Structure 1
Amino acid sequence: MNRYDEEYKMYVNILHEELMPAMGCTEPIAIAYAAAMARKVLGQLPDRVVIEASDNIIKNVKSVVVPNTGNLKGIKAAAIAGIIAGEADKVLEVISKVSDSEKQQIKEYLSSNDITVNASKSGKIFDIVVNVYCEDSSASVQISHFHTNIVRIIRNNEVIQYDSICDEVNMTVNTDRSKMSVEGILMFVESVNPDDVSKVLDRQINMNYAIAQEGIKNNWGANVGKVLLNGWGKGIKNRARALAAAGSDARMSGCELPVMIVSGSGNQGMTASVPVIEYAKELKVSQDALYRALLVSNLVTIHQKTGIGRLSAYCGAVSAGIGAGAGIAWLQGGRYKEVAHTIVNGLAIVSGIVCDGAKPSCAGKIASAVEAGILGYEMYKNGHQFYGGDGIVVKGVENTIKNVGRLGSIGMRETDQEIIKMMLEN
């Protein structure tokens, strides 16, 4: 594969589309982005706000701290942070700069203004609409299907932007992912020119490792990363999962450090990268080898998520933990056969972990997913594996990935609805 091949260009484009910086959990940040854009279109501070959100957005925003708000949680806090302090041009870093004065304004606005949250009736899994009003003026911004996808802008009842929208699985506005395969990913990894990927990977290394270190150094969330290090020691297998969990400890509890996301998720971005970075440090490999291992991990994660969709009842940390296992296998000399079996073994172990929203316990799920990815490789290295017919595992890595996509996107729909019902009852 050379850099002029269409397949090569496809993988480069996918990588740059998926790896982007975000500060804070991406669902509340998407709300803040829509709200900041609505305020910009309105041209003044609104006196009334109405937010419509799909069930999965409500699920993922309910329990997570919105950064730069003084530990506020929830949809209203995210929207008002975007309205008061958001810079829409920064997209998923929309509220990365909030002054103390603006934090106070956010709290005052929440306590004194008319803010309504309604469940979206669009039927879309990922749907956010922020409507803002001031006297006779109004503006509305809708984001659908993924975090930065503004599909409609309305000012004073006149549509000023409208884009035809796709579904969560077949995101035709982005590079077509249907041609991705584990074999193709590894061919790309072996042939890639580092100049085509180094800039975005350097940002992933620096940002994601920094927040992992912050999670270990200070008290965040349930301190899953610290508990792992204190209870299971500092061997490389444990450090890999502990550091990834620590990044989530910090991020889910409002840490203001940015991360590079993967598949629309900062948790997945950290899970796919931090364990690979830690293994690379342990093995003392070259920067080039680290880049290529991260490409394996990131692209295997994205490949799995393509069939599942952005949001579902299937925990995205599983896909990223298995991706990390694949990257770690590659770092240790594994190629197609070893990577493929690592993926299948890992998916056999942890597929079925449910997503019940963004919150501190995500760190524990990340630790389990990374452990499964590493175990998947260790099993195959020691002559053991799961076989087709073992549950949802079927012969061939692509067939197993397809089954997992079916499980996450179709099989767990009712599970997702029950999870949402339980969360909204509390």
Structure 2
Amino acid sequence: VPNLYIRVRAHADEHAADVIIAGHHTNIAYRGLDGTRLEGAYDSPEAVAADAKDAHDQVVSALNLDAIIAFAEHGSIDAARDALERQLELNDAISREGLEHAWGAEVGRTLLGSRASDPSCRARARAAAGSDARMSGCAMPVVIVCGSGNQGITACLPVLEYATELGVDGDRLLRALALSDLVSIHVKSYIGALSAFCGAVCAACGAGAAVCWMSGGTPAQVGATIVNTLGNVGGIVCDGAKSSCAAKISAAVDAAILGRDMAMAGRSFHAGEGLVQDTIEETIASMGYVGRVGMKPTDVEILNIMIGKTDVM
């Protein structure tokens, strides 16, 4: 079956209905009642996969770090202003909810209670707290990035926290958030809609890049921040949405801030060290290949363990 495949069978009043979603989260590939296919227009998983590849190729051809930084510095953000302001408002609100009340494993509250004077710890806490609440059933809305609330939170809250620390506001804050979102999308576009690769790492790359940019980092330093983050935590395993996502977000943001600190000091990981390649774009592509292709069987095995199909002993 395709990498993304969901089949639901429901029974009621001596009838059985089947629905299959395949290839993409919103693609209904089959509807049946009592074993008979219902009429309708269905996209085959193969067609959806082809469309997804076309969309991926368009994104990859349009996005690169130089273009993203150029847009953040000089492009018009008027068309995105409302969306960016809404992302700041809503994601800030659920983060505060996660810090004020006992949601999930309380990762954010734990971090804030340990080193509240440290801006890097506060950035981790703010992002983790939003996930604490969201993963534990909080009904407050979240602005997503790459189809994920956790990624929307991760791309946003560290930027907001460091903006406060650095005295950045107004349009410069919105431009930093746009940079974070676009870098997150750029990194994630190589991985695809579903992978065992934790998407919070992609969003943390965006947040780290934006924090570096707000700190006065050069394009080379912004790129080094992304490389340093991927070279550190690229490949964190995704085993579904649950309370530990907050801890993974904290770890990813921590790596991104370390990556920023290294880059600002003129230090970075170099080509030939693991998956790090000669350029930032090649490094993003190589990590994306591992997430998209290399971790495909990992995703299957994780699911088999979660549903009790595999005996791990």
1:157 aligns with 2:37: yes
Q: What is the CA-CA distance between 1:286 and the residue it aligns to?
A: 2.6
One-letter amino acid of the structure 2 residue matched with residue 381 of structure 1: M
CA distance in 1, matches of 2:22, 2:297: 21
The reply to whether residue 313 of structure 1 matches residue 196 of structure 2 is: yes
Cα offset, 1:345, TM superposition: 0.8
CA distance in 2 between partners of 1:147 and 1:212 (Å): 27
* Alignment partner, residue 229 of structure 2: 346
1:367 is aligned to: 250
Equivalent pair of 1:145/1:168 in contact (CA under 8 Å): no
Question: CA 1:202/1:287 → structure 2, altered by over 3 Å: closer, same or farther?
Answer: same
Q: Percent of aligned pairs with the same residue? A: 46
8 Å CA contact 1:169, 1:306 repeated in 2? no
Which ranges of structure 2 fall in alignment gaps of 5 or more residues? none
Matches within 5 A, 1:15-414: 123-130=1-8, 141-150=19-28, 157-164=37-44, 165-167=47-49, 170-172=52-54, 176-179=58-61, 180-414=63-297
Contact 2:31 2:37 (C-alpha < 8 Å) held by counterparts: no
Q: Which runs of 5+ in 1 are unaligned?
A: 1-122
- State the superposition RMSD in angstroms: 2.4
Larger relative contact order (CA 8 Å, sep ≥ 6): 1
Q: Which amino acid aligns with 1:166?
A: V
- 2:94 match: secondary structure: helix
Q: Distance in 1 between matches of 2:50 and 2:284?
A: 17
CA deviations on 1:275-313 (whole Å, 9 max, x unpaired) are: 111111222223211111111111111111111112211
Q: Which amino acid aligns with 1:256?
A: A
Q: Does the Cα contact within 8 Å between 2:30 and 2:37 map onto a contact in 1?
A: no
- What are the superposed Cα offsets for residues 303-358 of structure 1, whole Å, 9 maximum, x if unpaired? 11111112211111111111110111111122421111110011111112111111
Tell which deviates more after alignment, 144-153 or 185-194. 144-153
If the length of structure 2 is used for normalisation, what is the TM-score? 0.89
Contact 2:191 2:291 in 1 (8 A): yes
1:422 to 300, 305, 308: 305
| Superposition deviation, residue 182 in structure 1 | 0.9
Given residue 43 of structure 2, which amino acid in structure 1 is its aligned partner?
D
Counterpart residue type for residue 60 of structure 2: S
Letter in 2 for 1:128: I
Q: TM-score, normalised by structure 1?
A: 0.66
Question: By how many angstroms is 1:391 displaced?
Answer: 1.1
Q: Distance in 1 between matches of 2:15 and 2:299?
A: 38
Is 2:90–2:142's contact at 8 Å kept on the other side of the alignment?
yes
